């Protein structure tokens, strides 16, 4: 096309037809501009595809991590529930409100109530800057909320751990570490827990703290479910 325009241009110049030459010259410029714009659009399209591919990989990683988080937070819920129930039962034992038969009944289901608790999130740890790679505003807000809810859980867990370290005596901690081996525990062993004169006070405190954190964990589980659903929808729309 450009070659044809050049031939026409030579002919018009030879015939001194300046107006027609000007039109053809403008045509050449327009064609060049169009070519440049097409090239830029192709380049932008390729860059967009690359960015979309990177973002999709990030979303898949977030989904995998969120699913792993769901199992972790479910285990934290079970642990807090078990610890609260154990501390309530132990307090009843120490106050003489459980007889030997009732105390033996709780032995198979007790949790270790005085162990430091791990707070963890694969979403937060594996992709700390993920929000910068997400283009969907709803997903960004979802990730912000996810982070906020997790920080509430982590802060509460740290509070419980600090309270455990400050108030729990060595014999009680030692007994707590034997709980996973249920066959080695007897009702007589449980009275070691009662020998600590402050046990009623700090067990009551721990029950209150863990009850608050349990609510936070349950809220985190709901947030986790919502985030997983949003990720799956977004990835499904891209397929």
Euclidean distance between CA atoms 115 and 182, whole angstroms = 16
Give the residue extent of every domain in the chain.
56-238
pLDDT of residue 46: 60
pLDDT of residue 43: 60
Q: Which comes out higher in pLDDT, residue 35 or 11?
A: 35
In terms of pTM, does the model score above 0.75?
no
What do you get for the CA distance between the two ends of the chain, in Å?
40
User: Distance between alpha carbon 61 and the CA centroid of its chain, in Å?
Assistant: 11
Residue range 119-170, pLDDT digits in tens = 889 999 998 889 899 999 999 999 999 999 999 999 988 888 887 777 666 6
Greatest CA separation for the chain: 120
Quick check: 100 pLDDT over 70? no
pLDDT of residue 64: 95
Q: At what angle do helices 2-14 and 18-94 cross, to 10 degrees?
A: 150
Mean pLDDT of 78-96: 80
pLDDT of residue 142: 94
CB 69 within 8 A of CB 121: yes
Q: Which comes out higher in pLDDT, residue 107 or 226?
A: 226
Quick check: 5 pLDDT over 70? no
CB atoms within 10 A of CB 210: 24
For the record, the structure tokens of 138 come out as 């709803």
């Amino acid at each position: 096309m450009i070659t044809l325009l050049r031939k026409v241009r030579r002919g018009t110049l030879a015939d001194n037809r300046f107006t027609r030459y000007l039109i053809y010259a403008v045509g050449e410029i327009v064609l060049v501009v169009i070519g440049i714009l097409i090239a830029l659009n192709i380049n932008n399209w390729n860059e967009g595809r690359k960015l979309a591919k990177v973002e999709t990989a990030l979303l898949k990683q977030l989904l995998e991590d969120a699913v792993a988080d769901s199992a972790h937070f479910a285990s934290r819920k079970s642990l807090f529930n078990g610890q609260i129930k154990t501390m309530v039962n132990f307090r009843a034992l120490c106050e003489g409100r459980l007889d030997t038969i009732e105390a033996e009944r709780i032995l198979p289901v007790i949790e270790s109530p005085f162990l430091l608790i791990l707070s963890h999130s694969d979403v937060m740890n594996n992709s700390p800057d993920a929000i910068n790679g997400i283009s969907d505003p709803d997903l960004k807000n979802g990730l912000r909320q996810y982070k906020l809810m997790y920080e509430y859980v982590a802060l509460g867990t740290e509070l419980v751990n600090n309270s455990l370290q400050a108030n729990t005596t060595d014999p009680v901690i030692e007994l707590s570490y034997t709980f996973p081996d249920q066959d080695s525990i007897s009702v007589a062993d449980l009275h070691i827990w009662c020998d600590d004169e402050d046990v009623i006070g700090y067990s009551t405190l721990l029950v209150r703290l863990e009850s608050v954190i349990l609510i936070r964990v349950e809220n985190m589980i709901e947030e986790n479910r919502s985030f997983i659903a949003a990720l799956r929808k977004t990835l499904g729309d891209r397929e």
